[in-house]
A and B are shown apart, each in its own frame.
Chain A
Amino acid sequence: MRPFTYERAADAASAVKAATETPNARFVAGGTNLLDLMKLEIETPTHLIDVGRLPMAGIEETAEGGLRIGAMATNSHVAADARVRSRYPVLTQAIVSGGSGQLRNKATTGGNLLQRTRCAYFYDTAKPCNKRAPGSGCGALEGLNRNSAIFGASHACIATHPSDMAVAMVALGASVEVLSPSGGARSFPLMELHRLPAERPDVDTHLVPGELITAVVLPPPPKGGQIYRKVRDRASYSAGLASVAIAGGQVALGAVAHKPWRAAEAEAALGAGASPAEAIAAELANASENGRNGFKINLVRRLVPAAIEEARSNWAEKNGSVA
């Protein structure tokens, strides 16, 4: 760990101001990701602005019939919220499939969205990694890349985004609210928060430096069954090999791309009346493998139709009809 200075933000505006004005500063919320990365010197900020105690931990109803989840709401809090559980079960399922109880108690909604990849080469500072050290090369490309991306990868980076929560939120059509250095607030679809690696894998998102996530807004739940299925090597406390969130006709995939992957092709095919198997085949037409992760294409091909069927039958059971 490198030496750093620390301040606790008094309010959101001053946090953003401090982040903009202090060179090499970072926000810290639960710290479950950032502090690990600092200990390993993968991230070396020289100043931390603690936003974890800002009063943005609430979950409120929106006028539209959705929920606004404060950026500091912990993963445990969100997963346990009665409204989330009854109206957005996919979100609760996704959150509890991540990490461990202890991590979820500390992890925040904003921090979870901005957690960094679990690519092993990113974590090993003796290895080249364009995300950690731009221009050094990609250790995973020709390496042990069993758990790398099958969608939207570039020759510069084939890493995946590891969040489970974000996959469910993307399937639910959530949007993000941020406070910008200009002092203004803006809101945009969560789907547009993360970027594909292209030539700049060191940049994970479209946020401008100093921007603070203040909330995630869920629209009213779509009609139809919801489910989150995460395939992993061990039953808990393990990154996904592939995951899928279904919310009615909306489908998002996890652990397959540099961002939570909204399966637009599959959704379109489902909308046009295709079978689940046909729909995922349409999505997978764009998938590619990197040598050792080819199984993920098969896995997604098998997993997604099974999950869609399960969501549908859950819905039918509850409502006596097929959505």
Chain B
Amino acid sequence: MSSVLDWEATPNPVKENRAGNIGKAVDRYEGPLKVTGTAPYAYEVEPPSPPDYGVMLSAPIAKGRITAIDTKAAEASPGVQLVWTYKNAPKQGPRPERYDFFTPSPRPALESDQVYYFGQQVAVVVADTLENAQAGAALVELSFEAAPQSVIFSDHYDEADQPPGESDIEIGDFETGFAEAPVQIDDIWRTPLQNHCQMEPCATTAWWDGDQLTVHTSVQMVRFAQNSLAETLMVPHKNVRLLTRYVGGGFGGKGSFYEDLVLASLAARELGRPVKIAFSRQQMMHGTVHRPATEQRVRLGATEDGHLTAMSIMTTTHCDRRGNFTEHASNFARNLYAAPNRLTGHRLVRLDLPVASAMRAPGEASGTLSLEVAMDELAEKLGMDPMELRILNEPPTDPETGKPFSIRQLVRCMREGAQQFGWDRRNPKPGQVRDGRWHMGLGMAAAIRGNFLLPAKASFTVDADGVITVKQGMTDIGTGTYTVLAQIAAETLGVPLGDVRVEIGDSELPPAPGSGGQFGAATAGSAALDAGMNLRKAIAEIAVNDQASPLYGGPSEDITFQDGVIAISNRSERLSELIRRNRPEGLTADGEVRPAADAAKWSSHTYGAHFVEVAVDTVTGEVRTRRMLGVFAAGRILNWKTARSQLTGGMIWGVGSALTEGNVVDARYGSLINQDLAGYLVPVQADIGELDAIMLDEVDDKANPMGIKGVGELGISGAGAAVANAIYNACGVRVRDYPITPDKVLAALEAQGR
């Protein structure tokens, strides 16, 4: 269909939800496998014959070149099968000038003697056992010559440039509007470099059968990785079968792929045996990608009664020398609050650091940490409640483009959250509430994250047992894809959930873009719905033409699908019986979704509001979250349980961003100080306290045929700002340099003479 209006007007089983599968808190489809340790992740997949094991070596300098290599001792080490450096690595497709997420292109490993960042993979040792590979790796001798490096972001602000192809967006006249505003906020916020820290490090098991390669790996985008790998190996796309059935967390960090995939494939070809290679936790920190640091200047101008007249957020961020990624921390502000004069934009600094890329809610996650605190500061200056300030500046149409909203329930999220959380108990004066040695404070912030739909395909098969099999080259990165696809299938074909099988994570299946940008469920699910509808039609067609069927003669449009039974009023039979008679080998239908041609006529986002209670120990500067509530409006919810888990997971990450998470670059080495999960602090259970997410009833019929939207990235957006605002309310201290660690809180308290 080419118009969202058609989606809106056309009923379908997901919308009707007769059997009630949609929205239900269905347990994870693959949950039992995961909790019993029987879901094979990429490294654990058993290849057809005993594998060899590879261990990679990483550069100890940030920039320079490899000057000498001695692999003799390693090659002579017990069990070692091969040792590769740039000198003897097989020829691979050439790296493109710039690469992005969606255009497949070669990603050669061990390319040259050049080192572009600390931790770049520079050698691989493959041996018969992991232990022998590790022992061999310890014997590889590499010498390096370091070149002058630029690694400290704040030392290079002066080199910041407009990201290629972008320009600032100004509406009205920001400078004048701001200058004339009687009430102003003008502050700078800093967010640190962050690592994804997925539970499962990147890993690959690869083997060849003639010229056919099979790889099990851990990535978010099946087709992209398959095609890029083929181009790296310089073989036809079809010669590569890539599987990624279980992914232990992606968060954007597995949007691309890394040397484990390339080197395992090459080594398996060279040795004629399967090869397994995994990143170590330490290698994950440097050798994959990270969310880059930002510096954000926020300026707000308002009238005395709280109407925003000028609003600007300008972000400076960094990426690697060869990359092209911009952390668009200013973008979300274009759609959030009304203000006639607006200025947003980005500046990019190139550094000799590892590759910058997308991490959960790229842009929003960092950007809300400034603007949503600036709003709190403005509310205080105005003597207003921070939530009422936001509501006062709620725009009737998209504040930047003037487009109508597809649906926008931000105010309802705030009002509902305020009521459930007890926002009215907040004392606007900081530092007034104590619980023993803890100072208690409440804070809130708004959440917004864009909504996207990409092209995707899917196929549905019904077999002679009436079992529906969903097939799609989609991934489940821990988000619940398996489960929601099963729910859509059960609802669409009217079969019990237990009669649905889901096959995903395989490049041989109908392609879907994968998981990222919180477009997964909407994109994959809409294609699945279409396949299901086509299968319904095909089944109906067979039934009304089958003289042996009670449904013979139709009318086919009156057929209902329920509990595995197809019926026209009181004429019915089991779906399995029909298929057994007519298509004992099974019946398959394909489906697809494409973005509607007129989708861009609406401003389509997901929204939410966060409410947080924190406790601050003003003796030590420690901050602990006590209570957190998020209320979200994100279209129709497919699965209450998996959606809520995505939202609360995001909120927890927001707590981490506010309080603990970040990495710091050592200026001398260009390396990151935190290289494991004892040093890189993500929140633990004890950091979180009470936590809940509420999802408002909503249908966004302009988003896609099911009226659903994404939730994977919404929960993190704004959560950290609510924590920062609560800290201020607790103790009267604003720290604008994240994360807000005890040392920074103490310094701020001491600066106030406390």
Contacts and interface: CB of A to CB of B under 8 A. Distances in A.
A144 B152 CA distance: 13
Contacts of B163: none
B673 interface: yes
Contact of A241 (B686, B742, B747, B750): B742
Contacts, number: 92
Interface string B665-709: 010110101111011010111110000000000000000000000
B673 A1 contact: no
Interface stretch (A73-81, A190-198, A295-303): A295-303
Given A143-B666, A231-B620, A123 B676 contact: yes
B622 A118 contact: no
Interface string A138-157: 00001110100000000000
A322 interface: no
Contacts of A306: 437, 619-620
What interface size band does chain B fall in? 35 or more
A298 B684 contact: no
B686 A2 contact: no
B679 A302 contact: no
Contact of A298 (B60, B673, B750): B750
B671 A302 contact: no
A237 interface: yes
Contacts of A94: none
Given A144-B673, A299-B621, A236 B138 contact: no
Contact of A235 (B437, B666, B686, B741): B686
Interface in A167-220: none
B218 interface: no
A41 B678 CA distance: 17
B743 A146 contact: yes
A119 to B, nearest CB: 10
Interface string A112-127: 0000001010011011
A320 interface: no
A299 B746 contact: yes
A157 B58 CA distance: 26
Contacts of A231: 620-622, 742
B660 interface: yes
A118 B741 contact: no
A246 to B, nearest CB: 14
B669 A127 contact: yes
B131 interface: yes
B224 to A, nearest CB: 32
B622 A126 contact: no
Q: Which secondary structure characterizes the binding site on chain A?
A: loop
Interface string A25-41: 00000000000000011
Contacts of B621: 231, 299
A254 B683 CA distance: 23
B565 interface: no
A38 to B, nearest CB: 11
A231 B686 CA distance: 14
A234 interface: yes
Contacts of A24: none
A64 interface: no
Nearest to A229: B620
Given A41-B138, A120-B673, A306-B619, A143 B668 contact: yes
B659 interface: yes
B679 A120 contact: yes
Given A237-B684, A295-B743, 9 more contacts: A40-B282, A120-B673, A142-B668, A231-B742, A233-B660, A234-B683, A234-B686, A295-B746, A302-B619
16 contacts: A1-B134, A1-B135, A120-B675, A143-B666, A143-B668, A143-B673, A231-B621, A235-B686, A236-B685, A237-B684, A239-B678, A241-B743, A295-B746, A299-B742, A306-B437, A306-B619
Task: List 8 A-B pairs, minimum CB-CB distance, nearest first.
Answer: A126-B60, A235-B686, A236-B686, A295-B743, A231-B620, A144-B673, A235-B687, A306-B619
